[in-house]
Amino acid sequence: MGLGGISIWQLLIVLAIVVLIFGTKRLKGMGTDLGGALKGFKDAVATDDDAEKEQNLETDATANAADSTVNKEKAEATSSKENSDKSA
């Protein structure tokens, strides 16, 4: 028994029939085209992932800059309040 009740002999017979119908050149061409399509798809997915990571990094950098500005303002307010308390 092979895959799902299909024996190895049945698979070989189907393979032989496919080769007889399409020929080796056409099968090779279809394999090459399929491989090229899969490679293109893989590259497109990788490009989308890279663009998404870049966008997330830019968003994080913007958020960090905003947090830094808020922290500086708090520090300045605290130091000015301390200075006014010392002078009073």
Residues 27-65 pLDDT 10s = 899 999 999 999 999 988 888 777 777 777 777 767 666
pLDDT at 17: 94
First to last CA, the chain: 94
pLDDT at 88: 53
Helix (H, G, I), strand (E, B) or coil at 8: helix
- 8-state DSSP, 23: -
Quote the tokens at residue 31: 């394999």
The angle, 0 to 180 degrees and rounded to 10, between the axes of the packed helices 24-87 and 8-22 is: 100
Buried b (16+ CB within 10 A) or exposed e, 49-63: eeeeeeeeeeeeeee
Single pTM value for the model = 0.43
